[in-house]
Structure 1
Amino acid sequence: MTPKLDVLLVTPPSRDRVFQGLAENLTGIEPPVWSTLLATFLQQKGVSVEILDAEAESIGFDATADKIVEVDAVLTVFVIYGHQPSASTQCMPAGREVCTRTHERAPQLNTMVMGTHASALPARTLSEEPYKFVCCGEGPETVYQLVEVLKAGSQQFSHVPGLWYWSEGTVCSNPNADNFENLDLHIPGQAWDLLDMSRYRAHNWHCFDDIEHRQPYASLQTSLGCPYKCSFCCINAPFGGAGIRYWSPKLIVDQIDVLVNKYSVKNIKIPDEMFVLSEQHVLGICDLIIERGYDLNIWAYARVDTVKDRYLEKLKRAGFNWLALGVESGSKYVRDGVDKGRFGDLDIVKVTDRIKEHDIYIIANYIFGLPDDTHSSMQETLDLAQEINAEWANFYCAMAYPGSPLYERAKAMKSPLPDDAGGPGWIGYSQHGYDSLPLPTDTLRGQDVLDFRDEAFEKYFSNASFLSMIQKKFGQPVVDHIHEMMAVKLKRRHRDGMK
């Protein structure tokens, strides 16, 4: 008789609701990074583990629940992070749908949810969602110690760190586990062997140099946390505060070796919230990649004020063809208001020009509707975006994500939020969703901000200077691809209501 599986790690299917029509061909299909990290830790402890990536398998809520019931693990963990850590909240509804169906079929199953959202609002998550347990904090020790208690047939949960649970109708919680300091020791890599690596796909722009070959693809974590405290960001909710910890360059590049030689991966994302920061880390990884001679196409996050000239040559030689920069706003006054104004008088355009001089492409990220934004300052941001003319631009609306200081501020000011009574719920935190409901500013409604964002997207990607630059760098097939992308129009509930 086959032994019962200890832990099943589940990624519920949320892409279609979060991205609408963009999901089919344009967005990436991301490997479940946190599940692969958890799996490595658990396997080291002798725990049997499998990953069910319903997102990548493109199966629905019912089919996902059926698979969970069929596996019948001691503990089923819904790992809800989204494409990036701040995308956890809008993926919560999909997890709820699957977990509800799972308990309808098999009420006895033990289910847990973990992720940025669950760590930010553990009590509310336990009270409102169908899971039997909630993990608050980093997660590995919580999952491991809970499954050991369950395997022993015990109900003594009071010593499981970071666990929120019910006891005799009362919400109970335990102090969080300490964060791991030595990541190489505790989580020496990602469990790629538990995934069907053929299912994952790079974002469209990531492969503008070779638009027809977006697979295979991998997402490789090289650090945890972020030392900055931007008020719109919830990245540090699972970690209990600002800070960053690294895996060693050798361990990271050894994983790249596996990705290249076992899975033929060329396209790699570094999902760290801030990769270009520590010189020892960045150049250590670059030097080892260059030494081993891999042919890679990597993208990673940086800040305008962390991109040093001495990094750029090495980054390019190592295959870092794209850097994502959080410009956020064209107004220093607005950036200052969200603790992002540390750029001082740094000339953002000069920094982006230096990056381009090294033949590194830029993904520039902008946010509309930050607390001090007006229509005029949002236009400043769009003007700056068009001046920079990055090879890709992401336009976001300010969202008060649970776990961010902006969420606490919005609650205190009684600003309308998606999770208010009568609101769309957690899906309203999706940037690209039908029910998207951004934060209002002092002078603008959330719907006004959303309309400006959608118009800015149209203006940027149809701008003649942008298309001319794309034509020159990547050729007509990518221009045609952008035209196809522009034909996919996002629907918004508030605009449908005006028809």
Structure 2
Amino acid sequence: MTAKRILLLRITPSILRTVNHPVHHYPPLTLKYIQSILSQKNFINLKLIDDEVDHLKSAELIKQISYDQPDILVLFANFISPDFIRAFSQRLKQVTTDLFIIAIGPVATWNRESLLCNSSPIDVVISGEAEQAVAELIEQLSSGDNSTQDYYRQKFMHTNAAITVEDLNSLPYLEFSKQELKKYSFIYPVRLNKKVYCGYMETSRGCVCKCIFCSQYIRKSYSDRLRFKDAKRVVDEVENLVSKGANFISFEDDNFASASEHVFSICKEIKRRKLKIKWAAEVTIDEVNEELLKEMRSAGCEFLQLGVESGSGRIIGLLNKTNQPETWGLRCKKIFNMARQIGIATCALLMIGSPTETEEDIRKSINLAICLRPDLIKLHFFCFYPGSKARETFSEQLIDAKRIQYMYHHDYPYINLSKIHSGRLIELRREFYKRVLLSPRFIMNHLCKYFLYYLCNLGNFKFLISKTLSLLRNKKNLPKRFDLGLLDKR
């Protein structure tokens, strides 16, 4: 088989487009890396379709793929059931000639056996950080040497462990067109008084934190082992994205501040080159301090997302968020106050519906969020994602897998082990947002900081307003898929 046509496809459920909560659509970095590697190897008939932002229905995707007639399909899937992926792949095999399907991504990693069951239309499943392995396999499939092809098929067929990329510097630069920069808009407001074109990249992979809710199913990388790009390489990539038209950078690390010396080296390199670029990242409360925040700000840090999760010390302890849960609230206040004084905008990431959580616990979270005075808040429902410690710890209390497949942290608490009814959690989420976002103080501060940004980025403004109003409307937002009484298991 000589692969002349290769299709890279990210497929996502419709809920990511229809959920009445603002959702930031990040580019599929894994597929972008594969695209860059194959381009370097002179594969020219290469196409990437991102269902998450292209908004194609299954029938439209099948029609498009039938027209393109690719030889190899690399299928990246998340938040979708293995049953759907198999059925979708089977339909593709019916409308194409000798299509070879490689499944990668979170669903492929955590549902490998389901995707490779008898009569499965999927040819190979590659778990973990699949960029280099996929490119290697495609290169061999394209060689025309049947013995080599069979060797690589068998190699990946029996590789169960999640692959990790040890040398991140060996990965190519991510290439984005100006159209892609527009497509993956950074929806959160930042203090730039111009149209924002965001470039996305990573500086590290892995996370050593042991939070029970976290899972590689939703993380950007795999493994608890930290791996880093060199500071020079990082800033080279930043400059490359700027040359493509980016005027803002989002560092997509699971935890940008996981090693302070790594952050310091990047900041020093940015300043050494006198590179005037604003950027954003996600960090944890326990791994930043005043010195680090000042250094980040001096190198262009504009916006930080910080995992606060809860204002209840009891819940923070249960989540294994820190080894000092009793002082969590005080430390959160200290870090948010520092960031505000230094000039870094903040988004507090919070969660409701944790196991055993009570309404009193949620009230503590609301009060803490108000005290933090963040520029934004983002509220999630607790989810028992595959690979999380919570999924393992509470396995005997979880409902059947068919309901688990509907989990999405911005949608509805389909599996609820809190002490609060699921319908009431929906109401409390609405109240949480209203108490924080609709206070006169928050509105005035927000408009003073971001009015000019919104004026220059009207599309983002309309999107955020429409989704937020939909979220805050006084209606139940209950799902039609299941009977409510069966959803709660406490």
How far residue 483 of structure 1 moved from its aligned partner, in angstroms, is 5.1
How far residue 101 of structure 1 moved from its aligned partner, in angstroms, is 4.1
How far residue 343 of structure 1 moved from its aligned partner, in angstroms, is 4.6
Find the counterpart in structure 1 of residue 102 from structure 2: 112
Find the counterpart in structure 2 of residue 393 from structure 1: 377
1:493 aligned counterpart, secondary structure: coil
Question: Deviations for 1:382-418, whole angstroms, at most 9, x for unmatched residues?
Answer: 111111121111100100011212122332x23226x
Q: In the superposition, relative to structure 1, how do residues 36 and 118 fare at CA in structure 2: closer, same or farther (>3 Å)?
A: same
How far residue 143 of structure 1 moved from its aligned partner, in angstroms, is 1.7
Q: In the superposition, relative to structure 1, how do residues 401 and 314 fare at CA in structure 2: closer, same or farther (>3 Å)?
A: same
Q: Distance in 2 between matches of 1:75 and 1:65?
A: 14
TM-score, scaled to structure 1:
0.82
Q: Answer yes or no: is 1:298 the counterpart of 2:279.
A: yes
CA contact (8 A) 1:12 1:98 kept: no
Question: Deviations for 1:201-223, whole angstroms, at most 9, x for unmatched residues?
Answer: 3333233644x724x22211111
Counterpart residue identity of residue 305, structure 2: A
Which runs of 5 or more structure 1 residues have no equivalent in the other structure?
81-87, 165-172
Q: Distance in 1 between matches of 2:368 and 2:320?
A: 20
CA contact (8 A) 2:349 2:377 kept: yes
Residue of structure 1 aligned with 2:365, choices 378, 381, 388: 381
Find the counterpart in structure 2 of residue 492 from structure 1: 478
Q: Answer yes or no: is 1:464 the counterpart of 2:440.
A: yes
Find the counterpart in structure 1 of residue 390 from structure 2: 406
Q: Distance in 2 between matches of 1:155 and 1:269?
A: 40
CA contact (8 A) 1:160 1:174 kept: no
CA contact (8 A) 2:186 2:198 kept: no
Q: Answer yes or no: is 1:311 the counterpart of 2:292.
A: yes
Q: Distance in 1 between matches of 2:453 and 2:478?
A: 30
Question: Deviations for 1:414-461, whole angstroms, at most 9, x for unmatched residues?
Answer: 3226x33xx3x63x212334xx33432252344433432233223322
Find the counterpart in structure 2 of residue 289 from structure 1: 270
Q: Distance in 2 between matches of 1:409 and 1:107?
A: 45
Q: Answer yes or no: is 1:183 the counterpart of 2:168.
A: yes
Find the counterpart in structure 2 of residue 17 from structure 1: 15
Counterpart residue identity of residue 245, structure 1: R
Where do residues 92-491 of structure 1 align in structure 2 (5 Å cutoff)?
99-106=89-96, 108-127=98-117, 131-148=122-139, 150-151=141-142, 152-153=145-146, 160=153, 163-164=156-157, 173-176=158-161, 179-185=164-170, 187-192=171-176, 196-207=179-190, 209-210=192-193, 213-214=195-196, 216-235=197-216, 241-261=223-243, 263-344=244-325, 345=327, 347-411=331-395, 413-416=396-399, 419-420=401-402, 423=403, 426=405, 428-433=406-411, 436-475=412-451, 484-489=466-471, 491=477
How far residue 380 of structure 1 moved from its aligned partner, in angstroms, is 0.9
Alignment size in residue pairs: 465
Q: Distance in 2 between matches of 1:161 and 1:376?
A: 55
Q: In the superposition, relative to structure 1, how do residues 36 and 284 fare at CA in structure 2: closer, same or farther (>3 Å)?
A: same
2:380 aligned counterpart, secondary structure: strand
Fraction of identical pairs, as percent: 19
Q: In the superposition, relative to structure 1, how do residues 289 and 177 fare at CA in structure 2: closer, same or farther (>3 Å)?
A: same
TM-score, scaled to structure 2:
0.83
Q: In the superposition, relative to structure 1, how do residues 116 and 217 fare at CA in structure 2: closer, same or farther (>3 Å)?
A: same
Q: Answer yes or no: is 1:69 the counterpart of 2:45.
A: no
Find the counterpart in structure 1 of residue 76 from structure 2: 79
Q: Distance in 2 between matches of 1:95 and 1:495?
A: 20
Q: Distance in 2 between matches of 1:371 and 1:298?
A: 35
Question: Deviations for 1:251-286, whole angstroms, at most 9, x for unmatched residues?
Answer: 11111111112x221122111100022222212221
CA contact (8 A) 1:231 1:339 kept: yes
1:203 aligned counterpart, secondary structure: coil
Q: In the superposition, relative to structure 1, how do residues 441 and 13 fare at CA in structure 2: closer, same or farther (>3 Å)?
A: closer
Which runs of 5 or more structure 2 residues have no equivalent in the other structure?
456-460, 485-490
How far residue 28 of structure 1 moved from its aligned partner, in angstroms, is 3.8
